[in-house]
Copies of this chain bind each other. A is one copy, B any other.
Amino acid sequence: MSKELSEEGTRDVSAETCVKQKEIKKETRLGMSVKKDDDFGKWYSEVCIRGQLLSYYDVQGCYILKPSAIKVWNLIKAFFDAKIEKMGVEEHTFPLFVTPCALEKEKKHIEGFAPELAWVTKAGESELAVPLAIRPTSETIMYPHFSKEIRSYRDLPLKANQWVNVVRWEVSDPVPFIRSREFLWQEGHTAFATQAEADKEVLHILDLYSDVYEKLFAVPVIKGKKSENEKFSGGNYTTSVEAFIPSTGRGIQAATSHSLGQRFANMFDITFEDKEGHRSNVWQNSWGLSTRSIGVMVMTHGDDKGLVFPPLVAPVQVVVIPVPFIGADTKMIYEACEAVKATLHEAGFRAKEDNRDNYACGWKYSDSEQKGVPLRIEIGPRDLASNQVRMVRRDTGAKVDIPRGDLVERVRDVLGEIQRSLFDAAKTKLDNCIQVVETWDEFMEALSQKKLILAPWCDEVEVEELVKKRTKEETGGAAAKTLCAPLDQPELKDDTLCFASGKKATTWSYWGRSY
Contacts and interface: CB of A to CB of B under 8 A. Distances in A.
A120 B128 CA distance: 11
A318 B159 CA distance: 23
A167 to B, nearest CB: 7
A118 B171 CA distance: 22
A248 to B, nearest CB: 26
A71 interface: yes
A74 B74 CA distance: 13
A381 to B, nearest CB: 26
Interface string A92-130: 111111010110000000000011111111111100000
A90 B64 contact: no
Most buried by B among A119, A125, A145, A169: A119
Interface stretch (A10-18, A40-48, A54-62, A282-290): A54-62
A65 B138 CA distance: 14
A280 interface: no
A184 interface: yes
A92 B119 contact: no
Given A59-B99, A62-B97, A117-B124, 17 more contacts: A55-B145, A55-B148, A58-B101, A58-B144, A63-B95, A64-B94, A64-B145, A67-B92, A70-B93, A96-B134, A115-B124, A117-B123, A118-B122, A118-B123, A120-B134, A121-B122, A164-B165
Contacts of A164: 165
A420 B460 CA distance: 68
20 contacts: A58-B99, A58-B101, A58-B102, A59-B95, A59-B132, A62-B96, A64-B92, A64-B93, A64-B95, A64-B145, A65-B92, A66-B92, A70-B91, A70-B93, A71-B91, A117-B124, A118-B122, A119-B123, A124-B169, A154-B358
Interface string A65-80: 1110111001000000
Interface string A429-446: 000000000000000000
Interface of A: 27, 55, 57-59, 62-67, 69-71, 74, 90-97, 99, 101-102, 114-125, 131-132, 134, 141, 144-145, 148, 151, 154, 164-165, 167, 169, 171, 182, 184, 356, 358
A114 B121 contact: no
A32 B169 CA distance: 45
B95 A62 contact: yes
Given A90-B67, A121-B119, A358-B154, A57 B95 contact: yes
Contacts of A114: 124
Contacts of A182: 95-97
A177 to B, nearest CB: 12
A92 B68 CA distance: 8
Nearest to A66: B92
B120 A118 contact: yes
Nearest to A121: B121
Nearest to A91: B70
Contacts of A119: 120-123
A333 to B, nearest CB: 21
Contacts of A120: 118-121, 134
A106 B368 CA distance: 37
Nearest to A57: B95
Nearest to A123: B169
A42 B300 CA distance: 56
B115 A125 contact: yes
Contacts of A123: 116-119, 169
Most buried by B among A93, A101, A169: A93
Contacts of A74: 91
Query: Which 6 residue pairs spanning A and B have beta carbons closest together?
Result: A123-B169, A67-B90, A62-B95, A119-B122, A65-B93, A115-B124
